[in-house]
Structure 1
Amino acid sequence: MDGSGGPRRAAGARRRPARPVGPLNRGGLHGSSSPRDPAGRCAGARAARERPHAHRRRVSVQLLFVCTGNTCRSPLAEAIARKIAIERGLTWLDAASAGTSAWEGASASDGALLVGLERGLDLNGHRSRQLDRDVVARADLILAMGPHHLERVEALGGEGKAYLLTAYASHGQNTRPVNDPMGAELEVYRVTAGELERLVRAAMDRVAAERPAGGAEG
């Protein structure tokens, strides 16, 4: 189920500080892993210059949203991101979602389906999937709905490319989790969907702004 599931923060407990996020670059979303020669030049770029007729590889960004059951928040965020990518012509960006405690192959919740339809999002074909190391490894940027989701992503190897959705979208100004509407009335789903729309748009603005110029097509 897509319940929040995380333990409440004890009184007086220190809030985990938001992690600063570096600019996008061709070696990866946040931080390059390209080897450099003694002159400080990127070895990959040097090799490309030595092969003047070689085609550049098409750069794509795989965006992954993570919640608990992958039936409410993360599939809505995925559908919103796909819709925005189509609206903006972001052919280099793809979106996906997964859950930390997902029942593999489950449909989106009724509430998510209904508010999705209200916003022009079709979640009928969505099937939940469990977050694992392979899913984490394939993603370039992972945006989690809550702190416990972020911790699980990092435990599966996502540290350095995973952030709270609220923190990433607000450049660290907002670090609260996205409310889980599971089991609530439809109006609660509507509020969550509206929040996700704002957050995902802001996050995609940031991805597009920090992506290197000329990196869209190969």
Structure 2
Amino acid sequence: MKRVLFVCLGNICRSPMAEAVMHDLVEQRGLSNSIKVDSAATSSWHVGEVPHKGTQKKLKEFGISTSGMKGRQLSDEDFKAFDYIVGMDSSNVQNIREMLGQPDHPKIFRFLDLTPHRKDVPDPYYTGDFQETYELVVDGCEALLHKILADLE
């Protein structure tokens, strides 16, 4: 069993989008017993809130559910519980490392570093561009799933 945690600033746009997309990919491939997915925030601003309406709308276009998802903040227990802690941008990765007291642990990395994009996932809360975020999230989830499957072998 491998466990993945996606992390962004508020846990209402990017990280829940990544959680939902990865969950969908895992289910499509019949891997639900091998891979578990969750998401969290570095801030406490949106704890208990459902994903942003733009995230929900974009995912609904592709038949991907956000049912039951609620914002939560990253905790010390997450470092023990997850095999991959994936920050959606460089600032998130830095904050994760500081919050968890892990300045250079390989299980903490930037989401798109596994793709040819090798950049930050822009925050649609500020850009308003949920389509760009969705496309990058799909690419990143496919790349991460490939890595996880290789790690499971």
TM-score normalised by structure 2 residue count: 0.89
Q: Which of 45, 51, 59 is the aligned partner of 1:108? A: 51
Aligned to 1:98: 40
Task: Assess, with a 3 A threshold, how the Cα gap between structure 1 residues 124 and 183 changes in structure 2: closer, same or farther.
Answer: farther
Greater Cα radius of gyration, structure 1 or 2? 1
Partners of 1:183 and 1:149 in 2: CA distance: 15
SS at match of 1:182: helix
Q: Which has the higher helix share?
A: 2
Aligned to 1:165: 111
Amino acid aligned to 1:70:
N
Aligned to 1:15: none
Aligned to 1:216: none
Q: Which has the higher strand share?
A: 2
Coordinate RMSD, CA, aligned: 1.5
What does 1:1-218 align with in structure 2 at a 5 Å threshold?
60-90=1-31, 91-102=33-44, 103-155=46-98, 156-158=100-102, 159-167=105-113, 169-170=114-115, 173-185=116-128, 188-212=129-153
SS at match of 1:176: coil
Partners of 1:179 and 1:154 in 2: CA distance: 20
Amino acid aligned to 2:15:
S
Contact 1:113–1:124 (CA under 8 A) maintained in structure 2 = no
SS at match of 1:105: coil
TM-fit CA distance, 1:138: 1.0
Contact 1:143–1:164 (CA under 8 A) maintained in structure 2 = yes
Partners of 2:36 and 2:87 in 1: CA distance: 16
Task: Assess, with a 3 A threshold, how the Cα gap between structure 1 residues 176 and 184 changes in structure 2: closer, same or farther.
Answer: closer
SS at match of 2:40: strand
Task: Assess, with a 3 A threshold, how the Cα gap between structure 1 residues 157 and 140 changes in structure 2: closer, same or farther.
Answer: farther
Q: Identity percentage over the alignment?
A: 27
Partners of 2:106 and 2:87 in 1: CA distance: 13
Give the gaps of 5 or more residues in structure 1.
1-59, 213-218
Partners of 1:206 and 1:160 in 2: CA distance: 13
Aligned to 1:9: none
- Number of aligned positions between the proteins: 148
SS at match of 1:74: helix
Identify the range of structure 1 (62-71 vs 131-140) with the bigger mean alpha-carbon deviation: 131-140
Give the gaps of 5 or more residues in structure 2.
none
